Structure 1
Amino acid sequence: MASAMHSSVEILLVEDNEFDVEAVKRAFRKADITNKLHNAIDGMDALTLLRGAGGPNPVTNPLLILLDINMPRMDGFEFLDELREDEKYKSSVVFMLTTSGHNIDRDAAYSRHVAGYFLKENLGDLVDTLKGYVRGNEFPQAGVN
């Protein structure tokens, strides 16, 4: 049943750099990851999408979030703090995708319960991880107990 469920997993990429957004899209196509991909330019934009003010194509659960750290208005850590306080999204699976290799950033991310921390230069490793995670994992189905 996992194969029928994996395509329902939507991915939210929170990234302000257009080149990095395109790199992720290209890597997904190459890896045949066809899950719906939403993009938010910063944490505030991501919260708007998640909370239903994002227009006709809302983001639904279950969901994976790929999150940059350094963004305008609301950075990745501020977004994670808001996300973890929101009852609906506090258990969302978040992978950091960043240029920061600093231990302080890595520690701060894991203290906020991220599933993984990937440097943008290792995008292929993230894609490989996501491919196995999305295809092999049993996700809860919305509205099913």
Structure 2
Amino acid sequence: MSERTIAPADILLVEDNPGDVRLTREAFEGDNISNTLHVVGDGVEALDFLHQRSDYAEAPRPDVVLLDLNLPRKSGEEVLTEVRDDEELSCLPVIVLTSSEAEEDVVRSYELNANAYLTKPVDPTEFIETIRRFQTFWLEVVTLPPEEVD
């Protein structure tokens, strides 16, 4: 079996909790692949980043989005709905990363075509391990779609 070359990825983290942002950064810093973690704090900023509007006109198109559900100004569900309804963004992998373990949130996220649903562990060490497992699977094992599909 041939070795895959793993290119650095751009990850958009949509998270309003500074502690969770810090732990996510810490998890990515321990990696030997120089992935770039972009962070926005609410749903409106997330859509501006994804559509390269306003302060994010020069933002790269992320390879994958980590999306919290409980966000100010525009919820994660609303962001996910808009992403899936947009022809240019509809193939973008979106992983819900939230503290909610509510069955209805899990079901609703998959109904809106989230690619995965991860529950944030309360324990900081477990949180970092969850992010590292996400990184291994989504950025090293999975083949992501190209930025532009002809």
Q: Select 1:132's aligned residue among 113, 137, 140.
A: 137
Tell me if 1:38 matches 2:28: no
**1:52 to partner: Cα distance:** 1.2
1:37 aligned counterpart, secondary structure: strand
Q: What is aligned with 1:85?
A: 85
Residue deviations 1:100-137 (CA, integer Å, cap 9, x gap): 00000000111111121111115322421322321233
Structure 1 unaligned regions, length at least 5: none
Higher relative contact order (CA 8 A, sep 6+): 1
1:65 aligned counterpart, secondary structure: strand
**Could you tell me how far apart the structure 2 residues matched to 1:130 and 1:29 are?**
11
Structure 2 unaligned regions, length at least 5: none
How many residues get paired? 142
Residue deviations 1:63-110 (CA, integer Å, cap 9, x gap): 100010111100100100111111111111111111100000000111
Percent of aligned pairs sharing the same letter: 30
What is the one-letter code of the residue matched to 1:129? Answer: F
Let me know the Cα RMSD of the aligned residues. 2.1
TM-score (normalised: structure 1): 0.86
Residue deviations 1:23-51 (CA, integer Å, cap 9, x gap): 10001112445311111111110111111
Q: What is aligned with 2:73?
A: 73
TM-score (normalised: structure 2): 0.83
Change (3 A) 1:128 1:31: farther
